[in-house]
């Protein structure tokens, strides 16, 4: 399941290359070519909090070429639609995390996933200054 694969990646139990391969196996194309992720049943005591270090990590791995832009988009979708992951959108940091994940999930209406924007998302994550246009 995509949520357990992402959790293993964030815990540094699998590499970017393995994550990318697994994402490509897990994502099924459905109507209108929209990816749909499979998620597993998660108990409340197994929730995984997404922190700035996790978002910085996926952005950095993509900038290094270890993850593709498509992988990053799939990761964002997995984070949004999984019951395993959470972040506190009521905090300033959590709000940044939420905004970046949403923007990565919807590049067709927000910002394209390109190297320049990855750098700007990292700056936003660290400073709170959102410079994407």
Residue 43 lies in a domain: no
The per-residue pLDDT of the chain, averaged, comes to 88
Range of the domain at 122: 2-37+49-127
Q: What pLDDT, in 10s, does the model give residues 23-49? A: 988 765 433 344 444 444 445 458 999
User: What six digits make up the tokens of 21?
Assistant: 């391969």
- Please give the helix or strand (H or E) that residue 48 lies within, else none: strand 48-49
30-34, 103-107, 118-122, 128-132: the lowest-pLDDT one: 30-34
pLDDT of residue 26: 74
- Residue 1 clears pLDDT 90, i.e. is over it: no
The answer to the question of residue 96 being in a domain is yes
Query: Average pLDDT of 93-120?
Result: 97
Establish if 60 belongs to a structural domain: yes
- Whole-prediction pTM: 0.85
């Amino acid at each position: 399941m995509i949520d357990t694969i992402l959790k293993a990646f964030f815990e540094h139990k699998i590499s970017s290359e393995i994550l990318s391969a697994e994402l490509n196996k897990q994502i099924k194309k459905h109507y209108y070519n929209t990816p749909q992720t499979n998620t597993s049943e998660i108990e409340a005591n197994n929730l995984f909090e997404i922190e700035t270090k996790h978002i910085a990590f996926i952005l950095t791995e993509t900038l290094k070429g270890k993850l593709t832009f498509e992988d990053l988009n799939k990761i964002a979708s997995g984070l949004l639609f999984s019951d395993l992951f959470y972040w506190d959108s009521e905090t300033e940091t959590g709000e940044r995390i939420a905004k970046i994940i949403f923007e990565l999930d919807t590049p067709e209406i927000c910002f394209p996933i390109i190297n320049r924007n990855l750098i700007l998302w990292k700056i936003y994550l660290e400073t709170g200054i959102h410079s994407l246009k």
